[in-house]
């Protein structure tokens, strides 16, 4: 068959994952903090209630103008609509599979688990504070690291005063846990 008659796949239909968001490891749950869950839910509701209807209105108006092949509003609007729909599918799946972890129910507050805010000293004595959060909540500028990150895995179950090995690109580094806290969920 001539290639001119073969429909090329645009990749839009089956690519529901966001490029910057890692996959949830097989056999694990999608742990998330109440704040992270609320943030994702708010984004989903904004897409459904505000952004999507506005883009549909623009596409409908642009389609009524006639020739769609060179109509920038129509072409851009349809592309934006596909992006919004992809994000809606992604967020819906993430929220459906989310396991909200309420840190107020944590019994072992002296140990590092999901939701903990941990202050540690690296091998050079520099202090750092991180918070262990879900994969959809990672924000390195705020010190929020994923529970599946090498750092979080290294310090999980550690207590104040423990020294744990952390494998880094530069080699093995010993870090000392200085403080473990479970901050209340943001209201």
How high is the mean pLDDT of the chain?
86
Q: Which of 58-62, 91-95, 149-153 has the lowest mean pLDDT?
A: 58-62
pLDDT digit string, tens, across residues 19-56 = 556 677 777 788 999 999 999 999 999 999 999 999 99
**CA pair distance 83, 36, nearest whole angstrom:** 22
Q: For 98, list phi and psi in degrees, rounded to 5.
A: -75, 140
**CA pair distance 56, 10, nearest whole angstrom:** 21
pLDDT digit string, tens, across residues 1-15 = 454 544 444 444 445
- Residue 113, pLDDT score: 94
pLDDT digit string, tens, across residues 100-119 = 998 878 777 889 999 999 99
Contact at 8 Å (CB) between 31 and 99?
Answer: yes
Q: What is the CA radius of gyration of the chain?
A: 22
- Residue 83, pLDDT score: 97
Q: Report the percentage of the chain scoring pLDDT > 70.
A: 87
* First vs last C-alpha separation in the chain: 60
- Residue 1, pLDDT score: 47
Contact at 8 Å (CB) between 135 and 114?
Answer: no
The CATH classification number of 30-100 equals 1.10.287.180
* pTM (predicted TM-score): 0.77
The residue ranges of every structural domain in the chain are 30-100, 111-181
Q: Does residue 131 surpass a pLDDT of 70?
A: yes
**CA pair distance 167, 3, nearest whole angstrom:** 50
**CA pair distance 172, 26, nearest whole angstrom:** 27
Q: Measure Cα distances from 175 to 56, 147, 171 in Å.
A: 53, 17, 13
Q: Which CATH class is domain 111-181?
A: alpha beta
Q: For 40, list phi and psi in degrees, rounded to 5.
A: -65, -40
Q: Report the percentage of the chain scoring pLDDT > 90.
A: 61
């Amino acid at each position: 068959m001539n290639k001119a008659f073969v429909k090329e796949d645009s990749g839009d239909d089956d690519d529901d994952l966001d490029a910057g968001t890692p996959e949830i490891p097989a056999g694990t749950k999608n742990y998330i903090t109440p704040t992270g869950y609320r943030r994702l839910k708010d984004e989903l509701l904004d897409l459904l209630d505000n952004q999507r209807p506005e883009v549909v209105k623009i596409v409908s108006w642009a389609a009524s103008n006639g020739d769609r092949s060179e109509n920038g509003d129509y072409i851009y609007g349809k592309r934006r609509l596909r992006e919004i729909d992809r994000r809606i599918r992604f967020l819906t799946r993430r929220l459906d599979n989310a396991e909200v972890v309420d840190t107020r129910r944590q019994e072992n507050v002296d140990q590092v688990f999901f939701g903990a805010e941990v202050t540690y000293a690296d091998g050079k004595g520099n202090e750092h504070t991180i918070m262990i959060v879900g994969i959809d909540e990672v924000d390195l500028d705020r010190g929020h690291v994923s529970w599946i990150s090498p750092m979080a895995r290294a310090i999980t179950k550690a207590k104040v005063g423990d020294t744990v090995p952390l494998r880094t690109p530069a080699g093995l580094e010993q870090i000392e846990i200085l403080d473990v806290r479970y901050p209340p969920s943001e209201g």
